Structure 1
Amino acid sequence: MDPTLLLWKSEGQSFFQRFGLWFNHLLDPTLLLFSDAEIQKAHGALLEQNVNVKEKDESAVTLLLSSVHADSGALLPLHFRPPAVFPASVFPVLGSLIHHNGVRPALFWQKLLRRAGRKIVSAAASARHWSGLLHHSCRATLAFFSVLTVRSEESRTGIRVFDSNGNAIGVSKAAGKKAVWDTALSRAVLLGTTAAVPIPLILLLRRTRLFQRNPLLVTPCFYASIALVFCLMIPVSFSLFPQLGTINREKVEDELQAEAVGGELYYHRGL
Structure 2
Amino acid sequence: MAEPADYPPFQLGKPRFEQTSFYGRFRHFLDIIDPRTLFVSESRLKEAVQLLEDYKHGTLPPGVTNKELWGAQKIKQAIIHPDTNETIFMPFRMSGYIPFGTPIWLNQSHNACVNYANRNASKPSPTSKFIQGYLGAVISAVSIAVGLNVLIQRANKFTPATRLLIQRFVPFPAVASANICNVVLMRHTELEEGIDVLDNNGNIVGSSRVAAKHALLETALTRVVLPMPILVLPPIIMSVLEKTSLLRSRPRMILPVQSLVCLAAFGLALPLAISLFPQMSEIETSQLEPEIAMATSSKTVVYNKGL
What TM-score, normalized by structure 1, do the two folds share? 0.75
Question: Contact 2:210 / 2:288 at 8 angstroms: preserved in 1?
Answer: yes
Out of 186, 193, 196, the residue aligned to residue 229 of structure 2 is 193
Question: Contact 2:79 / 2:93 at 8 angstroms: preserved in 1?
Answer: yes
Separation in 2, partners of 1:110, 1:76: 18
Size of the aligned set, in residue pairs, is 248
Separation in 2, partners of 1:9, 1:255: 34
Q: CA deviation at 1:118?
A: 4.7
3-state SS of the aligned residue for 1:165? coil
Q: CA deviation at 1:232?
A: 1.5
5+ long unaligned stretches in structure 2: 1-10, 59-63, 119-136, 150-163
| Amino acid paired to 1:65 | Q
Pick which of 232-241 and 211-220 moved more: 211-220
| Amino acid paired to 2:34 | L
Pick which of 234-243 and 204-213 moved more: 204-213
Partner of 1:102: none
Out of 161, 181, 184, the residue aligned to residue 148 of structure 1 is 184
Partner of 1:62: 74
1:126-145 matches, within 5 Å, as: 131-138=166-173, 139-145=175-181
Partner of 1:71: 83
Question: Contact 2:211 / 2:288 at 8 angstroms: preserved in 1?
Answer: yes
Alpha carbons of structure 1 residues 114 and 223: separation in structure 2 relative to 1, 3 Å: same
5+ long unaligned stretches in structure 1: 97-107
Question: Contact 1:161 / 1:175 at 8 angstroms: preserved in 2?
Answer: yes
Give identity over the alignment, percent: 23
Separation in 2, partners of 1:25, 1:173: 27
| Amino acid paired to 2:50 | K
Partner of 1:168: 204
Q: Structure with the greater relative contact order (CA < 8 A, sep ≥ 6): 1 or 2?
A: 1
Out of 29, 42, 46, the residue aligned to residue 37 of structure 1 is 46
3-state SS of the aligned residue for 1:12? coil
RMSD (CA atoms): 3.4
Highest Rg: 1 or 2?
2
Separation in 2, partners of 1:32, 1:175: 33
Any idea what the Cα deviations from partners look like across 1:72-131, whole Å, max 9, x if unmatched? 223334454444x23422xx42x32xxxxxxxxxxx434543367455987979x9x754
Partner of 2:271: 235
Alpha carbons of structure 1 residues 248 and 167: separation in structure 2 relative to 1, 3 Å: same
3-state SS of the aligned residue for 1:57? helix
Separation in 2, partners of 1:54, 1:248: 37
Separation in 2, partners of 1:46, 1:74: 20
Separation in 2, partners of 1:268, 1:142: 23
Question: Contact 1:162 / 1:265 at 8 angstroms: preserved in 2?
Answer: yes
Pick which of 138-147 and 249-258 moved more: 138-147
1:178-257 matches, within 5 Å, as: 178-257=214-293
Q: CA deviation at 1:10?
A: 7.4
Out of 102, 106, 116, the residue aligned to residue 109 of structure 1 is 106
Q: CA deviation at 1:186?
A: 1.0
Alpha carbons of structure 1 residues 27 and 222: separation in structure 2 relative to 1, 3 Å: same
3-state SS of the aligned residue for 2:292? helix
Alpha carbons of structure 1 residues 46 and 192: separation in structure 2 relative to 1, 3 Å: farther
Q: CA deviation at 1:262?
A: 4.1
Pick which of 28-37 and 234-243 moved more: 28-37
Question: Contact 2:29 / 2:271 at 8 angstroms: preserved in 1?
Answer: yes
Separation in 2, partners of 1:136, 1:180: 23
Alpha carbons of structure 1 residues 46 and 259: separation in structure 2 relative to 1, 3 Å: farther
Q: CA deviation at 1:192?
A: 3.3
Alpha carbons of structure 1 residues 54 and 189: separation in structure 2 relative to 1, 3 Å: farther
What TM-score, normalized by structure 2, do the two folds share? 0.67
Alpha carbons of structure 1 residues 39 and 210: separation in structure 2 relative to 1, 3 Å: closer
